[in-house]
Each structure stands twice: as C-alpha cells, then as structure tokens.
Amino acid sequence: MTKVSTKKMQQTLIEKGLVPSVMLNKIDDFLDNIQALCSLLAIDLSAYQADHIALRINDGELAKAAHHAWLDYGKVISEAQINGRPIIVLEFDNPIKSHGWSIECLELPYPAIGKIHPVEDWEHVEFVVPSEAQTAEAFLQDLYAKFPDLESQLEKAKGQGVKVKLSSPKGEGERLANPTVAFKFNDICIKLHPHSLKNIVASEQA
C-alpha cells in the first residue's frame, strides 16, 4: 500500500472500531456470549484451553492494516495459505486473560474472495479438546462422549438456530490433522479441535 492508502486504511480501522485497543476492550463482552452459547449446548469449557480468538474483516486492505496494527501486541508465528488466502496467526506478547481463560494467539484470516461476513468483529474462539480423532466425524463422537448432554441438547439448539459445521482445515505444510467442530449461533461461533494452533504451526516447521 502507498503511504496515502495506508493512512486511509488506518483511519477506516478507527472509524469501524477495529483497532486493537478497541477490540481488546470488547473481549469480556464477547466471551460472555461465548459462555452463553456453551450453556445452550450444555458444554463446560472452563477447564479447557481457549486456544485463540479470531477477528473477521471483509476487506483485504483493511485486514492488512489490522495485521500491521496488531504487531504492536505480539509476533506473527504463521502466515499459512488456507483456501487460497493467508491466515495470520499472531502470538500475543501478553496473553489475553478473561473469564478464567488465557488466550495466547490471534487468528486474522484475510477475506476469501466473494465471501462477506455480516459483522466485522470478533467471530470465534477455538478451544482445545484433546482427542486422537483424525476426522471431524470421529472427533464429534469424542465430544459426545466427553460432554454427555451435548448430543441431545444439540438437537434442541438446532431448533433455536444453532448451526454445526464439521471441517478439517489444513494449511500448506501442516502435518498434524486437526479436525474441527464448529457451533455457530447468530454472529457467535465456538470451534473445538484436538490440537492447539501453536502445535499446528510447529508441525508446519517440522
């Protein structure tokens, strides 16, 4: 970006309330909503690692401006290409502490072409639920075993608008399978996976 366009994107970040200082002040409220979704699903994640928090931005240049702004708060440990666009993973200098969790990393996906998110904001938190599962389907069965009320509660929650997505995202060079189960309600999403993002990044470099 030119100096003029960089300054313009920085100003747009401020106008949209997407600068890091503002986003950090919204963490507690966002995690209130995450906990409410956990309650709806009858899953208690208080003992599990809140691996990372993800920020969604719809414009590529704006995502780049956010990417550079967050460098004041940590260091980039991965810029993997997933589904044709970079996913930035930044490890915080000081983990974000809220609701008993300590979040070590930020995930900032550059926008996918043609995909617009309804809200530019915090979008999901991913939690590590250890498992040997190699597929998302097998991982979901493990989750049903770990959280005995989840399967029956999920059927009720679907009737209230909760959506479930199974996926196995993998960046170029990653060697560790990390199947993911996502629960989305309105603009809030919880993702569960067996391995931490830092371990996945380490597998890229193995």
Domains of the chain: 3-204 (3.10.180.10)
**Sign (positive or negative) of CA dihedral 127, 131, 137, 141:** negative
Distance CA 64, CA 98 (A): 27
Please give the DSSP secondary-structure letter assigned to residue 112: P
Question: 22 CB contacts (<8 Å, ≥6 apart)?
Answer: none
Cα first-last separation, the chain: 33
- Given a contact cutoff of 8 angstroms between Cβ atoms, the answer to whether 182 and 165 are in contact is yes
Distance CA 41, CA 192 (A): 13
Question: 27 CB contacts (<8 Å, ≥6 apart)?
Answer: 53, 96, 98, 122
Nearest partner of 75 among 201, 177, 173, 170, judged by Cα:
201
Distance CA 90, CA 52 (A): 9
Query: How remote is the C-alpha of 149 from its chain's centroid?
Result: 24
List helix spans (H) across the chain. Answer: 3-15, 20-25, 27-41, 60-70, 136-146, 150-159, 197-204
The pLDDT assigned to 14 comes to 94
**Six-digit token pair at 43?**
């899953």
- CB atoms < 10 A from the CB of 80, how many? 17
| pLDDT tens digits in sequence order for the chain, 206 residues long | 555 577 888 899 999 999 999 999 999 999 999 999 999 999 999 999 999 999 999 999 999 999 999 999 999 999 988 878 899 999 999 999 999 999 999 999 999 887 888 889 999 999 999 999 999 999 999 999 999 999 999 999 999 999 999 998 665 555 678 899 999 999 899 999 999 988 887 877 65
Query: pLDDT tens for residues 77-105?
Result: 999 888 788 999 999 999 999 999 999 99
Reduce the DSSP state of residue 188 to 3 states and report it: strand
The pLDDT assigned to 145 comes to 98
**Sign (positive or negative) of CA dihedral 98, 103, 108, 112:** negative
> pTM for this structure?
0.89
